[in-house]
Amino acid sequence: MTEHLTHVTHPLVQHKLTLMRRKETSTAGFRQLLREISQLLAYEVTRNLPMTTERIETPLQPMDAPVLDGKKLVLVSILRAGNGLLDGILELIPSARVGFVGLYRDEETLQPVQYYFKVPQALEDRMVIAVDPMLATGNSSVAAIDLLKKAGATNIRFLCLLAAPEGIARMKEAHPDVPIVTAAIDERLNEQGYIVPGLGDAGDRMFGTK
């Protein structure tokens, strides 16, 4: 993946995203759509995974057939909203390893503070896909990638549903080596740090906590 930013404009992705943005969409509907869209986005973010061949026998004859190469890839959910993307992708790539990064925002410094970090071993040998539906200010995404790099990851991609220009710029500045895949690039952030037009608080909408 050479592009820093990939905007997935596929009609199915765009249609499902519109349904998710609608304020009247239920929690169950939102969650189901997120699961579906995560699989379409996974298709894009894994498009150029390394491949090799394996000798197999079909009922008719032997052949060298393509299979994924290298160590199992790692999906890292940035808590808590990342879990909404994680479930669908795991259905598609059931053998993926899974990590979690938990960050909260210190109300005084406004900086992200780590409260949980658990990732698989040998990160340096694996492709790591960090997932968070909303790339807003970019503060937590940048901090999460910082932690993953500190833990040894060198081949990281970032997958989100919506991105604000501010978050994209922040990520590009801090982590120019980490390609971003997103279903939409929205207008801006509002004063509260929400993406507009956006879809609201992704965690609240998927877990029904509001």
Q: Are 131 and 96 within 8 A, CB to CB?
A: no
Distance, in Å, from the CA atom of 39 to the CA atom of 1, rounded to the nearest integer, reads 18
Measured from the CB atom, is 70 or 208 closer to ligand URA? Answer: 208
d(CA 121, CA 124): 8
**Gap between the Cα atoms of 183 and 203, Å rounded:** 17
Question: Minimal CA–CA distance to 132: which of 197, 63, 183?
Answer: 183
Of 63, 43, 30, 1, whose CA–CA distance to 200 is shortest?
A: 30
Site string for ligand URA, 49-88 (x = CB under 6 A): --------------------------------x-------
User: How many chain residues interact with ligand URA (CB under 6 A)?
Assistant: 9
Does the annotation mark 182 as catalytic? no
201 as an active site residue: the answer is yes
CB of 134 to ligand URA, least distance (A): 4
Exposure on the CB side of residue 23, measured as CA atoms within 13 A = 3
Residue at token pair 């498009």: 47
Q: Please identify, using beta-carbon distances, which residue of 34 and 81 lies nearer to ligand URA.
A: 81
Dihedrals φ, ψ of 76, to 5°? -120, 120
153 or 161: CB nearest ligand URA:
161
15: left (phi over 0), alpha (psi -120 to 50) or beta: alpha
Cβ count near 199 (within 10 Å): 24
Least distance from C-beta 60 to ligand URA, angstroms?
Answer: 52
Binding track over 161-200 against ligand URA, x by CB under 6 A:
---------------------------------xx--x--
Nearer to ligand URA, 66 or 197 (CB): 197
Nearer to ligand URA, 5 or 151 (CB): 5
Spot the catalytic one: 27, 87, 105, 125.
105
> Facing residues of 64 across strands?
55
Rule CB under 6 A: which of 125-144 touch ligand URA?
Answer: 134, 136
For this structure, is 18 an active site residue? Answer: no
Q: Is 109 among the catalytic positions?
A: yes
List residues with catalytic annotation.
105, 109, 201, 204
Contacts with ligand URA, residue ranges (CB under 6 A): 81, 134, 136, 194-195, 198, 201-203
